[in-house]
Structure 1
């Protein structure tokens, strides 16, 4: 990977930071209630792709991008910037860097630094590393959040699962897109831009659009369910407050229906209401006492058993003191329950502005009126409700009439927070966060209850509660516990299922695109190799010394190399398109050519390709001269087309040389035979004793000369036989014979030779019928005698040579077995070639010419038979002849 300067890498780092931040924010746009967590965090996939493409130099960009992402989320949630927020951002950024670096090293190690993802194994390891690294990073992140107090123990498991799923799905859907754009090798990944980038992006887009649609539908459904439940809660609270207001209405009816209500009567009447409403702090009767009635009122209360009763008020320090003179007083006379603070008895509510205003509002409107929020003796926020009491029989239609008939108020002190808490069930308290406050009062003092720590406008409900002639706001918001029982599994399933499909689709695209790339590369390579091969083949054909033609099965010439054109004296390119048979005008030549072409073309195409058929034939040049050729023909299948390849070898020089050789050998052989016969005769006479008294030393020389003359005569005869065989001079007169007679004849002819070597020559006795063969008796005896003489020579002194006859189906087999020196492995392949012997000095040691076996093979094959051998060096040899059996004369069909 090339090194970059600090200036040149700064821009890519800034761009990578911006892309990471944007991907993180995009993931939050795909958040799913509850908790607004996301099942897709593409920033993790961006980080993986960057480090896999550019290496660990991208880690600073990931670190900076994660910090900016976390801080931006904190600001958007109104959390503000503080030491905890910044510290958490640094920790999460370090975890993101660790995750990316660990993934890069693990994936490259698993793939052996071969980042092509073109096999099931590589893609499996890629996903496995993703899962493992994401498990570690999500566990570290959740642990950090717990230690910093951002997560409770109950929330850790779900948060860890969401974190892990989001990272895994983000990687498997986003990392391939980054790799396609930037990964190496560039040629491979660039070839995937259309095959992977476009369909994978479209698939991801479709999944995200479908997810957003499903999420919106599910969100609307959740919002409706939440709103219905919040409305029910609001209605229950309204009903509860109305029932408490009904208590005040009932007290008003008590006073309206009675001329005078005694203290005990009041206590008895309100006792039931107090027992059923623990949120009521006290109930009291507050009469209107004018200044002129003050003394009489105080004395009447004293007479009821409350000595020293006086109207009181509070000074600036909150201590009770006698009420100052004023036109009207509103003292609390009847107090229930009995354990109410004793100082409240006789307290003039008119001395407090909020109470006096509420009493006057109640008097003038003939409605229950509530005071502003205030603190009771125990520091709890309460409101006082006042219901007006009018004198019986007075008109109260107008405010003036009401003021004239006004007799006092029934008052009740209510703990609003307790009333609300008593209304809510335990489930509602866990599922819902609430806020209840007086709309007409400052928020800080008018709030009765508030459990909402952060605002969620999407899942928040607000209603107006009427109580005591005042309006109160009731705000409801879903709690984290609410979402645990209201999880949108449809949305989660759609998101996770769609993203998993996208990831698997991406893996499939990677594999198919890699396969396509490899196939295209292979095609290019094979095309180049084919082009090179064609050029090489063309060069070989152009420079080949032999003529080469190709033609179809109809004999139409498809191509001809320069040597073929020169052979037939045709200009370059003029042989193509001609008929092959026009080059061989003789009827015999055309017949031979047709037979060989038919033999090749009729061979089963599914069988092994036949070897080239060779045939000697005469062709005619353009000048009209005939030339002898050797044709080697074979078939070549090219798809559905079958071609014949014909190699032309000019035999003109060979034929001239063979003719000269034959003439030379014939002349030499005949010229040598006459003087050699005379020499052998003279030597024979001398050995026979014609000249007596020959010295011993001269006798040895005479024996040596006679032996070499015999050997030379044998060599000349063999050479003449070969000359006759090769050029058709040797005649075969085949007749029907019993093979046993011919074998005995050969053995008898070689018994004297065997005695000279002290070798026992035996025919194995077997019970066989007469076996008839059709052979030339003289040539067969010559072949078998050659095998017997060889066996005798190579057996050694006092050895044994066995001759056996047997039947092998429709063949008769004649075996000659010796137990002599055997044949070496190196010599077995050339034993039937001319002038060959197992050792260089064998000719001298065993007086051989090296032509016997070659002659034997040619002659036995001319008679329709076969020759073969088996041998093991040092353990002797077995030569055998195979001849086709013919029926005996009495079993043959008579001639018609």
Structure 2
């Protein structure tokens, strides 16, 4: 039992190993990472506190601004009503009703109780005043409260004249001390005044709220108003608004919920008797983290506002501590156990290192021996050397040149015609014509690739480099050069092509699903998503598209260099191509705050490959958007130049540096090639654009001035437009053949959103069953299917009279394809693709069918 306790796998042994001095590095790392996490936590808390304080200050400022603004608006309403009296004298009840009806108080100013007019009545005028109001149809009207006073100011008009406001009709507001003070001050100064806290006459039912009234004095026309006594003498009455403070504040603050508690006191102190409004007050265990008391001077009154943060406000900014602590502790423990694991295997690693050291020494000795052998072999097996002496009619070839063809030196007779006998028979005529052209030209050096016949009968590709020695008249006297066996090079090139094809397929297939799915989600197909998640998804979508563009650029350059780039030349409307190009780059423009404008293009047609031209225009437009400052404009416009049309893309960027302009269209060329450059890209876009336009019979160029922007242009030959436009059925049936589930689902969504009726299968067998039972107007096809090649299905479709003319869109990740796949009715799209590329190819294929 005692031996079992010390076994290597027992808990006590593992604990002893953890506490061993050999594990000291792991403990140091644990302590260090915990300290780092503590610093990060403190920094995070400090940052959160600053952010929360800033947000709290903003909420306070927003609240006070809203109160000030609303009260100013109410004052303007009363000024308008006072102006009505001052210009018209006494205003009838009907005029007052129409004026307030036009104000739309309830809809525009929620929280206002109404707008009224209180008339100043002297004691000797009281009976006449009461009689006149009763004659208007208010038989029970009287001034209340009863009693003799030196001046009555009863409420005569009050709109809306319904519900609670009926209780205030005839009320002498001058009889109540708080109202009396505000009214007397307003009348003597001629300025707007607010009352202190009162209980409104309108509080007839329901919850009783604190009340306020705002008064604007109205004076008789042409009366002197130079002193307080003159203003009191000329007083006609007051236009005023009563407010239930709770309703008023809810109308001012609206539906906004800053997670703050607001209390308002009608006075300079936080006296509970002066409290007129309290919002979202709730008991809590701890004092609020953020609070502020401020005072507002409002129309002769001092308001004290107390704002405090609520728990949900504080939790929003201080709720990440547990997450940070958990992640930091988990990371520290992970590093600790990882380093412990490495430390506990140190002895084994040392033994292994010793073995590796011995192995390296042996390899080094073998490498030195190999280098010596290679050096000797290199001296004896250089590239073949040959020399044609045209004057002496002799040919010399080095032993290496003979060995590359399988001959021994001197095995064949050496004369000027020897090279023709060992050259591949199929290449002889072309090689002789090329040699004759070189001899007649003025060049001194040449390089060409030729195939020679090996002694065994196989063909040996060779790279031949030569120098032509000429006389004073330019006549060739002697030709000398080298030949290099390209057999291995060709094999490597073929392996590279196969590797590029395989890698592109493996990258493009998942990338198509990723970028397409992200595009659909960010476009709203799956419904509304949270704003924070939307931002992350947009970043992922943009970068997946960027990766796809980079892969396409690299493969396009590879195909261009290998001469394998095929073009599907057709007639297209220039206007449609430009509109599609601008539309496909609109999202980037919106993201960078740039406005893109298409000036009215001419009604013209061009003979181009639509997808290649779209790629060129997208390069021009996206570059212009990237280099145009926020708020700037990118312009796409055209002009006719003889029998060509020039397409211009102009930006408002800094222009192209003068020292870089000569290299703009070179591969991998970038004006800012540093690691810290602000604009991304591979430097291939403009080089590819130049190749595409020149292959379509056009040319490219640019115009740029420092600080005045850049215009990139391309010219294309014009065609006459078709006599009748092509039309498309509204319910075309399509078949999607794709074994990769994500890509198949993506193609299905893209085509269905465009209005097509779509069915999807994942194998050759299922596709054959569908094609035998239904008629489809077009189909998309993946060349790599689980039960065979898409090539088999194409051959079957073309051999069937019912489906022979059906357009086929091949969606594949392969970087190259067989020549017969360029048959009429087949369009090749490289993964990854977007909805615009797919729909353009499908529209062109259907139009070509007709």
Which bin holds the TM-score, normalised by the shorter protein?
0.3 to 0.5
Q: TM-score, normalised by structure 2?
A: 0.35
Q: TM-score, normalised by structure 1?
A: 0.33
Looking at CA atoms only, which structure, 1 or 2, has the larger radius of gyration?
1
